Amino acid sequence: MMIEKRYRWKSEQIRRHVAIVDGKQAPTKVLLNATYLHPYIRQWVKGNVWICDDRIVYVGPNKPKRLDSCEVVDCTNQMLVSGYIEPHAHPFQLYNPQTLAEYAAQFGTTTLISDNLFLFLQLTKKKAFSFLAAMEKQPVTMYWWCRLDPQTEMDGEEHFFSYKNMKSWLENDAVLQVGELTGWPRLLEGDDFILHWMQEAKKLGKKVEGHFPGASDRTLTKMKLFGADADHEAMTGSDVHKRLMQGYTVSLRHSSIRPDLPTLLKEMKQCGIHHYDHCMFTTDGSTPAFYENGMIDEMIRIALQEGVPEIEAYRMATWNVARYYNIDHLHGSITPGRIAHINILEHASNPTPISVLASGQWVKRDGVPVHAFSTMEWDVHGLAPLLLSWDLQMDDLQFSMPLGMYMENSVIIKPYSISMDTSADELSTDHDESFLMLIDRNGKWRVNTVLKGFATHVQALVSSYSNTGDIILIGKSKRDLLLAFKRMKQIGGGIVLCEQGEVIHEIPLPLGGLMSAKPMSELMQEEKALGKLLRERGYTFADPIYTLLFLSSTHLPYVRITPKGIYDVMHKTVLFPTIMR
């Protein structure tokens, strides 16, 4: 199944659009007396905007000759900008692509370019593409990446990343790039699989996105030669400067674990950077509560506060992204032929729109949400509650491994020697060591170790949300771990926190055990409550949801717990293999 983005409008629709300009037919909406941002000339311009269904058909001084059944909106004293674009979304951070898109639209982000890893690993290709097609019918535009590595160590990787699968994904019109390249060290070591698909992406006119935290000039140069086009891992103004000097487009990040934007913008000025044509904004798949104040609109607001010129701040959220991805014929400007993603602002100093048009439909009108999204039939796409046909036993909770994992910070996990007795049913709260287990969602294998640094008083946290889709158990009490697992199984997947024989909090994740079906506003409250409870019990890091995700993520140093066992990232070896059940 292909999603034909290049042929969004059929010939008869285009003929109708032209007939509207000729005065032979009426548009469906007209925005009168608009002051709109024109990114080509970097100016605010006055004019009228005619829309036919989901397309802008005319922008200029004229009014349409015919107005039969046409909605006319007076935009006097309001400012219009193109819908904002999130170029690097991970739409599976407890929320799902639909609830994220609905929520983002309320804040003016009407286009998302999203990670496909969850769809790639959890669904068949047929189901994944049917899901892409269903998302295509929503007012927000969803584009996708094509991953080249699974970001963990897993059996059957060659099955998922087969030639046939990769070709189908890359040729899908909804896919704009390959990446993010978390597996780039393999490329440097001679992995021609990654290089081949980077070259195929180039041949198809698609982009290659890097993931190069801390990369030297030399590494950035090599990755440019391999074909990388952009990177979102700049953590300082100097990092931004380095990437721009090598000819990269730079995504400036402001996320739940890296809220860097104010610092980046200050330091960019110190580095002498005063032009932003090759910069764009990203929130990099933040967890739900981070979005309480908005999405890309919040980044524009920060940029304005940091003294970025008004028009440049808006261009980084719209035109720069569209032009970079070669979708500027559809996005990024309020000009004829573009998709009618339009934000109506009370003033340019406040980028959160009062009204939002997505694909020509109101999704927000005068500050009030408008229901414009169709209901998603999740089970049709293979996203049903988790049904586990096996049970966890006390025998599974044997922790005799000599090597543990020590959380130095949110992303760095180091190996350490376990010296305490792990045969007890409960660990003391006098220290920050907890039982840690990763168990196959099909019940075939397990990895048991100790996690140091996570918390002092968490008795049992069980999560079906993980990087691999397998089950994570962390806690001091084996009895509570069994209870939390049982409850997680009962609710069809989710995150469950137990203490002294009671469930004290849960976040149901009925979509494959990885995503909530609840609106973002409800999910935010559930996530905030979990964070509060964990911090009260000694968790000190930035984001517990990312902690769960990163435990298996082998693009980060130094050791990880994976479906193959405890894995040494730096030496690319399995230190202790999984135990078959």
Tens digit of pLDDT for each residue in 86-97? 999 999 999 999
- Dist CA 261 CA 267 (whole Å): 10
Number of domain units in the chain:
2
- Dist CA 144 CA 79 (whole Å): 30
Inter-helix orientation angle 97-106/520-536, to 10°: 100
pLDDT, position 96: 98
Strand partners, 499: 502
pLDDT, position 152: 87
Nearest partner of 239 among 225, 253, 228, judged by Cα: 253
67 and 30 Cβ atoms separated by less than 8 Å: yes
pLDDT, average across residues 100-120: 97
Is the domain of 445 the same as that of 329? no
pLDDT, position 213: 95
Instruction: Indicate the SS3 state at residue 435.
Output: strand
Which pLDDT band holds residue 6 (cuts at 50, 70, 90)? low
pLDDT, average across residues 132-140: 96
Quick check: bond before 558 cis, omega within 30? yes
pLDDT, position 359: 98
Radius of gyration, CA atoms only, the chain: 25
Higher pLDDT pick, 510 / 1: 510
Tens of pLDDT along 21-44?
999 999 999 999 999 999 999 999
Let me know if residue 11 belongs to a domain: no
Question: Does 1 have pLDDT greater than 70?
Answer: no
Instruction: Indicate the SS3 state at residue 214.
Output: coil
Chain centroid, CA 177 distance in Å: 14
Let me know if residue 133 belongs to a domain: yes
Question: Does 219 have pLDDT greater than 60?
Answer: yes
Record the tokens describing residue 568, joined without a space: 């040494």
pLDDT, position 5: 52
Chain centroid, CA 429 distance in Å: 36
> Within a 13 Å sphere around the CA of 301, how many CA atoms are in the beta-carbon half?
14
In 90-154, alpha helices (H) = 97-106, 117-122, 125-136
pLDDT, position 2: 42
- Which DSSP letter does residue 232 get? -
- Dist CA 498 CA 521 (whole Å): 24
Chain centroid, CA 437 distance in Å: 26
Is the domain of 416 the same as that of 489? yes
Which pLDDT band holds residue 342 (cuts at 50, 70, 90)? very high
260 and 235 Cβ atoms separated by less than 8 Å: yes
Strand partners, 144: 114, 175
Query: Where among 340, 373, 406 does a domain terminate?
Result: 373
Let me know if residue 280 belongs to a domain: yes
- Dist CA 8 CA 514 (whole Å): 32
pLDDT, position 153: 84
Tens of pLDDT along 186-203?
999 999 999 999 999 999
Is the domain of 350 the same as that of 414? no
Q: What percent of the chain has pLDDT over 70?
A: 99
Nearest partner of 566 among 438, 427, 407, 432, judged by Cα: 438
Average pLDDT taken over every residue of the chain: 96
The amino acid sitting at 480 is D
Let me know if residue 450 belongs to a domain: yes
Tens of pLDDT along 274-316?
999 999 999 999 999 999 999 999 999 999 999 999 999 999 9
Let me know if residue 191 belongs to a domain: yes
pLDDT, average across residues 120-141: 95
The CATH number given to whatever domain includes residue 215 is 3.20.20.140
Quick check: bond before 158 cis, omega within 30? no
Continuous segment of H or E residues that includes residue 544: helix 544-550
pLDDT, position 572: 92
Is the domain of 340 the same as that of 415? no
- Dist CA 473 CA 487 (whole Å): 13
Chain centroid, CA 246 distance in Å: 26
With b for 16 or more beta-carbon neighbours within 10 A and e for fewer, the 340-358 pattern comes to bbbbbbeebeebbbbbbbb
Let me know if residue 153 belongs to a domain: yes
Inter-helix orientation angle 163-171/125-136, to 10°: 10
In 256-338, alpha helices (H) = 261-270, 296-305, 310-317, 319-324
Is the domain of 576 the same as that of 516? yes
Tokens 């058909």 belong to residue = 57
Let me know if residue 486 belongs to a domain: yes
Is the domain of 408 the same as that of 368? no
Is the domain of 483 the same as that of 345? no
Q: Taking the C-alpha atoms of 532, 536, 541 and 547 in order, what is their torsion angle to the nearest 10 degrees? A: -70
Is the domain of 363 the same as that of 484? no
Number of Cβ atoms within 10 Å of the Cβ of 458: 25
Phi and psi angles of residue 246, each rounded to the nearest 5 degrees, phi first: -90, 0
- Dist CA 514 CA 533 (whole Å): 21
Is the domain of 413 the same as that of 350? no
SS3 content of the chain, % helix, strand, coil (to 5): 30, 25, 45
Which positions ≥6 away from 146 have C-beta within 8 Å?
116, 166, 169, 170, 175, 177, 178, 179, 197, 201
Question: Does 4 have pLDDT greater than 60?
Answer: no
pLDDT, position 154: 83
Is the domain of 209 the same as that of 263? yes
164 and 171 Cβ atoms separated by less than 8 Å: no
Is the domain of 356 the same as that of 501? no
Burial status of residue 495 (CB atoms within 10 A of its CB: 0-12, 13-18, 19 or more):
buried
In 43-181, alpha helices (H) = 97-106, 117-122, 125-136, 157-160, 163-171
Let me know if residue 9 belongs to a domain: no
With b for 16 or more beta-carbon neighbours within 10 A and e for fewer, the 255-267 pattern comes to bbbbebbeebbeb
pLDDT, average across residues 120-144: 95
Is the domain of 405 the same as that of 279? no
Domain that holds residue 252: 81-373
Instruction: Indicate the SS3 state at residue 95.
Output: coil
Query: Where among 343, 373, 403 does a domain terminate?
Result: 373
